[in-house]
Structure formats: structure tokens, C-alpha cells
A = this chain, B = another copy of it.
Amino acid sequence: MGSTRARIAIDAMGGDFAPSEIVVGALRAKEELDVEVLLVGDVPQIEAILNQHTSSHNIEIVPSEGTIEMHEEPLSGLKRKPKASINVAMDLVKQKRADAVVSAGHSGAAMAAALLRLGRLPGIDRPAIGAVFPTMIAGKPVLILDVGANVDSRPKFLDQFAVMGSVYSRYVLDVENPKVGLLNIGEEECKGNDLAIRAHQLLKENPSINFVGNAEGRDVLSGNFDVIVCDGFVGNVLLKFAEAVGEVMLNIVKEELPQGLNGMLGTAILKPNLKRIKQRMDHAEHGGGLLLGVAGICIISHGSSQAPSIFNAIRLAKEAVDHQVLERISSQYQKTAAQAADGE
């Protein structure tokens, strides 16, 4: 395993800027990261883009036919187009020709294709999408899941998200004993909606995680939690709000800073500092969400992803593969099952 390069299948046809930005991001990843990339899509189009950007490359292109359009209903679309790029990419993982998939296409379709073609990991009822947020403490991110794979979750789904998130936090984000929080509207365990109250009990009794209690909205970015679990409805609202709010804040800074007599001068002096601020606030750096719980690594990138986001998504996929996230989640559940059979 150690010496084998992660092989990442890229859905070159998915996303607002496909295929060109996707191909450029993949090319950069191939050059700068220790990965193999397989580009799935329209061969002549992809070759033309590659030829524009490099004189020689040894990237494999896997042909596909069509994509699932944003307005299409995922399941029927996947059925009608068995050779759509996302289907072909998932099949590469199934056939063990690739270890992971990256797609910026229809996220519902990517999720459905992963479920249909790869299936769930044993012990997992529902996969979740995890997103890594920066916190107030530099270098101490928090993993939030689910940010949109499931709505109307049941308590046991959140319990499973906590296990998967803890594995990811421990082995990929390198947190020794990840602190797990439950997103809620109060600190006390009696607080919350029906789902939160019941999930709190399950999390509290789960010996395989380090549950530290409820996390309120204000705690998300505090750095006091390593993993926060929630239903995909609230997680998705939070993710999209967080992405937008950085932009709003930057706009306020841009509007107000150059005002007045000394504004232009001060702003000019501080140009490099402002650039660093922008980088720290910018969510585009993060590459995308990680679909956890299916039998394959899948990174679901934003539809608006351009080359740098795709590059980061590929890095995310590589890290999950290199750290054997799937194997570790599975073994966690085998351990739990064995303990249950052993004990009570």
C-alpha cells in the first residue's frame, strides 16, 4: 500500500467550467502531487485541452458519453445514461482501476451513482457529506457532517456520522482523540428538536467516539470541536451561509478600507496583508465535500469549481486514500460488532 500511488478518477465533464478547468486542475495535480489521475469524459475535447497546456503527458483518458445535467432527476438520469461520466468514474473504482472519484457535476447524481455502483460500507445506513471548515485557531479545522446528503435524518445516522467523522479526523486531519459535538440550539442535553435530543443519547453512550456535548452555532468556528454532526438540512444551510459570509465580509472590507483621506494610502501599504486575509477567509481553498460511508472515496466539488479547487479536491481524495479512511471505518464497525457479540 505504502508504495502504491493513489489513483483518482476525475469526472472531467461535470461542473460549470467543465471540461477545461477540470482538466487543467487534474494536470496540475498530476504534476505536483504524488497521484495518478484518470480523466473520464469526451476524449477529443480532453485531449485538445491537454495539448494546449502540455507538450507531453501520460494521463489516461477513459471515454464516457454525456453527463447528468443540473436540472435532471439523478436516479432517472443515471439510468438513462449508463455511460455518463459520473457512472463511468464510479465503475473505475468498482473495478479497482481507481481508488477515488472527484466530481464537480450534479452532486445528487454523484451521490446516487456512488450508492448504486459502490454501495454502502458495512454498518452504515446513510452516507454523509463532510466539509472541513477553518476555525478561529489557525491549523485547527473542524469537520462538519452531514452538509447535504440526507434530510430528515434518524438519530442513528448522526451516530454513524460521528464514527466516520472521528476516523477521518484522526487519520487524515491527525487529531489524536477527536472531540465530537452535536450541532444543537443549547448546551444542555434536554435542548433541541426531537432528532437532537435522541441523537444526544446515542452519542453519549457510544464508546468508540469522544463525545463532548452539544455545539451551538457560535461554537462551530471556536476550535473547541474537531467533528460536529448534524442533519444534512441544517448542515447544508450552514455550509452555504459560511461560504457566502466570507465574501460579504471581504466586500465590506474592500468598500470601507479605501475611504477617506488616508484610505487609499493605507490600503496600498497593506496590499500583501489584505491578500493573506483574503486567503484565510476564502472557502474556495477547500476543494469540496467528502462523501463518507460509501465503499469508495468520493469528493464532491462545487459546481463552480475552477482549476485550483479541482487541484485541492484531488489532494483531499489522495489524503483519504493514503490514510485508508474506508478500511478504518469498516474495521471500526467490525470491532463494534465483535464487542457487541462478545458483551451484553
Contact = CB atoms under 8 A, between A and B. Distances in A.
A152 B183 contact: no
A252 to B, nearest CB: 5
Contacts of A277: 252-253, 256-257
Interface string A233-276: 11011111111111011011100111110110111011011101
A252 B265 CA distance: 21
Contacts of A230: 237
Residue from the set A219, A256, A259 with the largest chain B CB neighbour count within 10 Å: A256
B237 A217 contact: yes
Interface stretch (A165-173, A192-200, A293-301): A192-200
A287 interface: no
A237 B245 CA distance: 15
A193 B280 CA distance: 33
A268 to B, nearest CB: 8
A281 interface: yes
B263 A270 contact: yes
Copies in the complex: 2
Contact of A241 (B151, B220, B231, B252): B220
Given A253-B253, A269-B269, A272-B260, A221 B248 contact: yes
A194 B262 CA distance: 54
A76 to B, nearest CB: 13
A337 interface: no
A136 interface: yes
A273 B269 contact: no
A245 B244 contact: no
Contact of A237 (B216, B263, B266): B216
A196 B233 contact: yes
B270 A266 contact: yes
Interface residues on chain A, size class = 35 or more
Interface string A180-211: 00010100000011101000000000000000
Nearest to A231: B193
A257 B273 contact: yes
Nearest to A148: B185
Nearest to A138: B255
B243 A218 contact: yes
Nearest to A280: B252
A167 B259 CA distance: 37
Contacts of A280: 252, 256
Contacts of A216: 237, 240
A262 B267 CA distance: 11
Given A193-B151, A245-B245, A249-B246, A237 B185 contact: yes
Given A244-B218, A253-B277, A266-B270, A183 B237 contact: yes
Interface of A: 135-136, 148, 151-152, 183, 185, 192-194, 196, 216-222, 230-234, 236-246, 248-249, 251-253, 256-260, 262-263, 265-267, 269-270, 272-274, 276-277, 280-281
15 contacts: A135-B248, A152-B194, A183-B237, A216-B240, A217-B244, A234-B237, A237-B238, A242-B245, A249-B281, A256-B280, A257-B273, A260-B272, A263-B270, A266-B269, A269-B269
A-B interface, 9 closest residue pairs, ranked by CB to CB distance from nearest? A217-B240, A217-B241, A266-B269, A151-B193, A266-B270, A218-B244, A217-B237, A218-B240, A185-B236
